[in-house]
Amino acid sequence: MKIIGHRGAAGLAPENTLEAIRRGLELNVHGIEIDVQLTKDRQVVVIHDFTVDRTSDGSGEVDRLTLEELRRLDFGAKFHPSFKGERIPTLMEVLQTVPTDRLLNVELKQIAYRRRGLEEEVAKVIRHFGQHHHIIVSSFDHRGLKTIKELLPEIRIGLLTYHYPVNPRSYLEGLGFPVYSLHPAFELVDREDVKTYLDMGLEVLSYTVNDPQTARELESMGVSGIFSDRPDLFV
Ligand code: G3P
Ligand code: MG
């Protein structure tokens, strides 16, 4: 089963920082997952929450702060004082940190009613980087995924879900764009659905699993990989 470091390796270092990514990579994970958002000045940064309050020494909404303002904040000390000085990374810095023989899962996060073109900016960064064979772009926002697939036709798409679709096959076929992988919450993994997805040629990558027993249960259902804050427990 593939082990993917969640938010880098959020149980071992401050989530979504370069240090968390390095810790994950050191553990020889199959890949790394990060969350991305747009700043006020349209830079693509790596952060999960829509505000900086929980993970930094600042406050406010990510899309109302500039990259320069975000860079001044400390994203390390709230996790542990020994990480003081960790800064918010940009997507480009992560692309330059994760070797292209590992999977990089870029999860798009944006407030749907405040759409400002995250997909366009992510596509620009990936094009500028020049390689994308190792990337999966995922989101709970399936409309955003349709947009990024139009912008980067060769990019692999991961469909994040937190629901039981009534008919998984017809939902996938109705999307109108091809999907590479299905990313269900582990609490909602269903044996029959996994079989359907595998039969359709998709991978099934489930989040967020920090317990070896749960991982074994998922593996027995055919799940291809898990996102974990504690990849050290599995690899
Ligand atoms: O991509 C898997 C997982 O990260 C989705 O949930 O809220 O942790 O971004 P969340
Ligand atoms: Mg995520």
pLDDT, one tens digit per residue, over 29-60 is: 999 999 999 999 999 999 999 999 999 999 99
Q: What is the chain's mean pLDDT, rounded? A: 97
Choose which residue among 46, 48, 54, 135 to substitute to test ligand 1 binding: the one with the highest number of ligand atoms within 8 A of its C-beta.
48
Q: CA 75, CA 95: separation in Å to the nearest integer?
A: 19
80-94 pLDDT, tens per residue?
999 999 999 999 999
Calculate how far, in angstroms, residue 7's C-alpha sits from the geometric centre of ligand 1: 8
Q: CA 22, CA 4: separation in Å to the nearest integer?
A: 13
Instruction: Categorize the per-residue pLDDT at 146 as very low, low, confident or very high, splitting at 50, 70 and 90.
Output: very high
Average pLDDT over residues 23-27: 98
Choose which residue among 35, 138, 183 to substitute to test ligand 1 binding: the one with the highest number of ligand atoms within 8 A of its C-beta.
35
Q: CB of 227 closer than 6 A to ligand 1?
A: yes
Instruction: Tell me whether residue 181 is in a domain.
Output: yes
Instruction: Tell me whether residue 147 is in a domain.
Output: yes
Instruction: Tell me whether residue 77 is in a domain.
Output: no
- CATH number, domain with residue 196: 3.20.20.190
142 is catalytic: no
Predicted confidence (pLDDT) at residue 149 exceeds the cutoff of 90: yes
Domain of 34? 2-52+88-233
Instruction: Categorize the per-residue pLDDT at 165 as very low, low, confident or very high, splitting at 50, 70 and 90.
Output: confident
Number of independent structural domains in the chain: 1
133 is catalytic: no
Q: CB of 228 closer than 6 A to ligand 1?
A: no
Q: CB of 15 closer than 6 A to ligand 1?
A: no
pLDDT of res. 163:
85
Name beta bridge partners: 139.
159
Predicted confidence (pLDDT) at residue 235 exceeds the cutoff of 90: no
Instruction: Tell me whether residue 132 is in a domain.
Output: yes
Own/partner pairs for 52-57, CB < 8 Å, 24+ apart? 52/88, 54/78, 55/14, 55/15, 55/16, 55/79, 56/88
Q: What percent of the chain has pLDDT over 70?
A: 100
What is the enclosing helix (H) or strand (E) of 155?
none
Predicted confidence (pLDDT) at residue 112 exceeds the cutoff of 90: no
Instruction: Tell me whether residue 93 is in a domain.
Output: yes
Nearest-CA residue for ligand 1 atom 3 is: 207
Instruction: Tell me whether residue 149 is in a domain.
Output: yes
